Amino acid sequence: MTASAIRIAIPLPAPQTARRSDPWSFVPPLLISAVATVLLLAGSRHGWTQVQAALAFTSIAFPCFAYSAWRRTRRSHIPLFAVLAAAHTVFYCVSIFWTDILAGARTATAVLAFVNLGLSGLFIGIQMGAAGIRWRHVRVPDVPADRRNWTLIRIIAGCQVFVPFLPVGTGGDFRQEIAIVISFIPVVAFLILWDATLRGKGTQADKVLVAVFLASSILAGLATGWLGGCIGNLVLAGIGYMRVHRRLPIVPLGALILIMLFLQGGKPAFRERFWYGGDKAGAFTKAQFWIEKSAERLTAIAGQPAGGGWHESLEPLLTRSSVVQESATVYENTPSLVPYQHGATYRYLLITLIPRFVWPGKPSVNDANRFYQLAYGVTLEQDLDHVAIGAGLIPEAYMNFGWVGIPVIMCLAGVILGIFERIFLWRDAGMFASAVGLAYVLQLLSLNGQAAAYFGGMIQIVGLTIAIFLPALRFQKPARRIGWRVRTGGAAA
């Protein structure tokens, strides 16, 4: 009688980091939230009520507690909800208290309630989307382990040097695809090389490409007059640093804020000359002009007493980076002047999934914005081709369904983001998938976009990016399995 064996194969789960069962773990984020709220209210430009203070505290507590939970679990590369919640806090709360955008206490209270309802729905949705079992086995091809096979990745990253000198707004029916190739795909290549550099595995050429990429992206932002273009990739570099080292880069973050304040001073003069004045110049000339005007503005501010000039520079930055005015406009005029839309503005979301070269005459993604601009009297009809202003996800939800719509729509948005997080930002996501996820985070921080603009291009951007990188990628192996041999018979007699 011979021995027989049965092989039992069981998938090996991804290693999990043990949770810390510290009953006092809520104390640090609670204290940070309280201190931040006190500082926020202390610098307020106007009076505030106790209800507003409580709503400000809860909106600040969302990112603080979310970041603390991420530090304990480490289930994803970055704390996606904490990042989005922090952006909402800045775009809403800081602008409400530190600027004069809103004069009415009732409207300010309503807008603060907007953000709290929105973050509640977003949190629940992300948890639901990330916990979906069906997404657990979705795998994205990854970069090869042998860095000698990264030639295409390095070429794509190196192409960033040409971006500052490319004409803007060209491409015809392919302009959306060309914009993705120019503005998104090189960022993915940069993040791959940046990750390798931070881990000490990048070559000398990789380090040079990283430096050249950042310098070129800053030059491109300065040449186009977009402050976000100047600092966007620096923000992503900071997020990538946080992913690898698991801590916030406090000093670079402070330096980034100072750079934004510095460049804010020269931006109006730049746009007056090169946007509205029609002056033509090269990228280096435009960049030099912006920096010179910013330095002149800094000198003028330094000569003013009591720091009044600093507030003049800070307020435009907070005003342009907020959606408080849009939220107030929607709240004050819905449904008294503009009736609830009952989902009408969301029909553009499905249209955006169709590439323009397939449907050349398809409606523009800005049509949802145009309804808001016209119906609420934000923009004159003759100016619609030159001005695009979105209300943002939260005001759009109220525009369609009122107070109930805010948590419901934001929960649905959270489900989409949770699925996105599970595929591209989870701990077991490969280097390429996480680079795509990190690059798209910058898109997600644009909170003034309505649903059609915010989510409509996600499939096209991700799909085209994978297609471009596919020759340089390798499909990942299936989950590892472990097996045991169970003997059912003895040795031969």
Q: What is the pLDDT of residues 11-27, one digit of tens each?
A: 333 444 444 455 556 77
- In this prediction, residue 318 carries a pLDDT of 66
Residues 80 and 428: their CA atoms lie apart, in Å, by 15
| Token pair listed for 349 | 């979301």
Is 256 within a domain?
yes
pLDDT range class, residue 88, cuts 50, 70, 90: very high
Is 4 within a domain?
no
Is 426 within a domain?
no
Is 383 within a domain?
no
Residues 397 and 193: their CA atoms lie apart, in Å, by 39
How many domains is the chain partitioned into structurally?
Answer: 1
Is 225 within a domain?
yes
Report the predicted TM-score, pTM, of the whole model to 2 decimal places: 0.82
DSSP assignment of 146-193 equals SGGG-HHHHHHHHGGGGGGGSPSS--GGGHHHHHHHHHTHHHHHHHHH
Is 389 within a domain?
no
The larger pLDDT score, comparing residue 252 to residue 364, is at 252
pLDDT over 70, % of the chain = 79
Boundaries of domain holding 151: 147-320
Angle between helices 393-401 and 405-424 (to 10 degrees): 140
- In this prediction, residue 9 carries a pLDDT of 39
Q: State whether the Cα torsion 249-251-252-257 is positive or negative.
A: positive
- In this prediction, residue 360 carries a pLDDT of 65
Is 230 within a domain?
yes
Is 219 within a domain?
yes
